Amino acid sequence: MADDTDAPRQSPPNPPPSLADLQHWTWVMGRAQQMMMEAGLEWAKAMPDTPPEPAAGATALSKAGDFWSAGMRLWQQMLDPEQGWPGTPASATADDKRFRADAWHDNPYFDWVRRSYLALSDHMLAGVDALEGVDPAQRERLRFATRAVVDAISPANFPGTNPEVIQRAVETGGESLLKGLANMLADLGRGQLTHGDRTAFEVGRNLATTPGKVVYRTPLFELIHYAPTTERVLDVPLVIFPPWINRFYILDLTPEKSFVRWAVEQGVSVFMVSWKSAGADSEELGWGEVSWDDYVLAQVEAVDTIRNLLGVPAVHAIGYCVAGTTLAATLAWLAARGEGGKIASATFFTAQVDFSGAGDLKHFVDDEQLALIGALSPEGFLDGRYMAATFNLLRGRDLIWNYVTNNYLLGKDYAPFDLLHWNGDTTNLPARWHLGYLTDLYRDNLLVKPGAMSVAGTPLDLTRVDTPAYVQAGREDHIAPPESVWRITESFRGPLRFVLAGSGHIAGVVNPPAAGKYGYWTSDTPAETLDAFVASAREVRGSWWPDWMAWLRARSPGETDVSGARIPGGGTLPALEDAPGSYVRMR
C-alpha cells in the first residue's frame, strides 16, 4: 500500500473512438428513436374510437428528422472539435448528479456520450408529446414509461460508458467491481434494493425509542401510549394513525427527528397505532378477508379506547398518507352516525381524498396491473417488497439507478441514513384491501362521490364532515401531489387550515424545528385553488410543526395534571409491554 508521499497514479488516457464506434452509437440512438416512434404510432392507431390522424405520421417523421440532424451534428463535432458543440440538450441540468464528474465534460469521448444520451432523452420524450390522437391519461402513462426507459439507459448505469467506474476499477485493481458484485448478489438474495447500511439502525435501539407502553392490542394493531415529560398535558389527547404501507416509526425516527418525542415535549398525551404486517402469525385474522372496513373500524376502536381510558369526550387525530385517507372516511362514518364529536380535530399529513389528480401511481391501476397484483397475492397478502419497488419506480433515477451506480458499479459502502432504513423496512398488505384501495380510489375515485362507498353498511359522505381540519401537503411530493391533497379543502365543510410544506412526502413531514430546514407557506386569505393559495401565501422559514401546535392548542387549550391514566399503564388498561411493541418487529 502506497504511503501519502507517493505521487498519485495517472489513469491511462482513453483512446479516441474509431469511426466504426461513432457509426455504431449513432445507429443505436437512431434505432431507439425509431422503435419509440413506431410503437407510439401503432398504439395510437390501435386505440378504439380514435380516427387516424394524418398529421401524426408527419409529426413523428419530423421529430425523427430532428433527432437524426442532432445526431449528425454531434458526430461531426467529434470528427472536427473546432466546430464547437451544437447547443445544450434541454435535459442537461447543472444539478444532474449522474454527470458531475469532470471526465463527463473534460474527456471528449465521454462528453460526446453524455450529450448524445441527453439528446436521445430529449427526442424520446418529445416523441411522446408529439403523438396525436392520444388522450391525456394515456399520454401520461406513455411519458412515465418512456422516462423510466430513459433513466435506465443512461450511460452512467453501465461500466463501459461511465468514466468514474472505469477510473475506480483501475485505481482499486478491480476490487470495486468485486465489492459491487457482492452488493448486487446480496440484494438479489433479499429480493430488494438496499439504500443504506442495514446494520446502522435498529428499532428500539436508535429508532422508535420514545418511552411508552403498549396498552391495547388487537389482531390488527397495537396501541402505544407514550410517557409524558411535562407536569401538565392538554385535556384532549392525540392519536396518530400512520400508514400501514410502512412502519409507524417514520414519526419516531432518531430522537432528534422524532415527531412523537417533540409532541410529547409540547405537553400532549400522545397515542400511536402500530399496525400489524399482513401475513405475520395470527390465529384470529384471515388476511385474505381484511378490507377497507376493517381499517376504518380499527380507527374508531382506537379512538373509543382512548376516550374510555382517559374519560374524555373526544381526541385529536392525525392520519398520514393512506391512513389520512382512511381518517377522512372515519370522520364521514362518524358524522353519518351522529358521532362526529368523538374527534375534536383531524390533521392530515400528505393525504388524498380526491384521486382524480393523484400523480404517477395512477399508472399502476389499469386492468393488467390489477390482475398482476392479484396473481402476486395467492396467500391473501401482497409482499411489501413489491410495493417498495413500485415507490422506487416513481423516482427511479434517485431511488434505483443512483444506488446501482454507487453501490454496484462503484462498489461504495452503503451510507447510514435513518429515513432510507425505514423506507426499506417493508410491510405486507392485505390483498383484498389493496385491490379495493387501488380500484375504488385510484381508478374509480369513489370516496368523493357521496354515498358511493360505505363502511359496515353506512354510506360515506365527506361533505357532512364539519370537524376542524389541518391539512399539510408537500410542495415536491410525487406520491400525493399538493394539487391532489388540496382537494380535501373542497370536500369538508368545517374550518380548515392548509399548509404547504417544503420538500416531499417524507422529508416535508419529518422536519423538526431544530433542523432549521425547508420552510412552509400559509395564508389566511380564502382561496378556490392551490394556485390562488400560493399567490396569497407567505413563506415561513423552518418547520411547520410549531404552526400545527399553535393551531391544536387553539382548538382545546385546557390542561390537566399528569396522574392516573395519563401515565401509561396507570389506568384501566395495564401495560402489555414497552414501546415500540411487538408488531413493528414482525415480518
Task: Set out the domains of the chain in order of their start, with CATH numbers.
Answer: 19-158 (no CATH), 212-375+431-585 (3.40.50.1820)
321 included as an active-site residue: yes
**Strand ranges for 381-484 from DSSP E:** 381-382, 429-430, 454-455, 458-459, 469-474
Three-class secondary structure assignment of 77-89: HHHCHHHCCCCCC
Residues 6+ apart with CB under 8 A from 28: none
Catalytic residue among 128, 260, 321, 438: 321
Q: pLDDT tens digits, residue range 531-552?
A: 999 999 999 999 999 999 999 9
What are 397's three cell numbers? 433515477
Give the whole-angstrom CA distance, residue 344 versus residue 466.
Answer: 10
pLDDT of residue 79: 47
φ and ψ of 392, to 5 deg: -65, -35
At residue 260, the 3 state secondary structure works out as helix
Q: Can you say whether residue 288 is alpha, beta or left, with left for phi > 0 and alpha for psi between -120 and 50 degrees?
A: alpha
- Block residue for cell numbers 404552526: 547
Helix 19-46 to helix 54-79 angle, to the nearest 10 degrees?
170
**Strand ranges for 362-440 from DSSP E:** 381-382, 429-430
Give the whole-angstrom CA distance, residue 222 versus residue 273.
Answer: 6
pLDDT of residue 88: 54
Residues of the chain predicted below pLDDT 50: 1-13, 25, 28-30, 32-34, 36-37, 39-41, 43-44, 47-65, 67-68, 71-72, 74-75, 78-79, 85-86, 90
Q: Apex CA 537: angle with CA 535 and CA 541, to 5°?
A: 130
Amino acid at 107: N
Closest C-alpha among 176, 206, 163, 171 to residue 417: 206
CB 304 within 8 A of CB 296: no
pLDDT of residue 501: 98
CB 220 within 8 A of CB 294: yes
Half-sphere exposure of 252 (CA within 13 A, CB side): 31
Closest C-alpha among 168, 158, 172 to residue 28: 158
Helix ranges (H only) for 400-487 are 402-403, 418-424, 431-436, 482-486
Residues 6+ apart with CB under 8 A from 2: none
Find the helix or strand (DSSP H, E) in which 343 lies.
strand 343-349
Give the whole-angstrom CA distance, residue 411 versus residue 424.
Answer: 20
Give the whole-angstrom CA distance, residue 342 versus residue 316.
Answer: 9
Give the whole-angstrom CA distance, residue 308 versus residue 523.
Answer: 37
What are 369's three cell numbers? 396491473
pLDDT of residue 274: 98
pLDDT of residue 1: 39
pLDDT of residue 3: 39
- DSSP structural state of residue 574: -
Which of 77-85's residues contact partners 24+ apart within 8 Å by CB, and which partners?
77/112, 78/17, 78/22, 78/108, 78/112, 79/22, 81/108, 85/115
Closest C-alpha among 564, 482, 489 to residue 528: 489
Give the whole-angstrom CA distance, residue 55 versus residue 62.
Answer: 10
Beta strand pairing call for 519-522 and 496-501: antiparallel
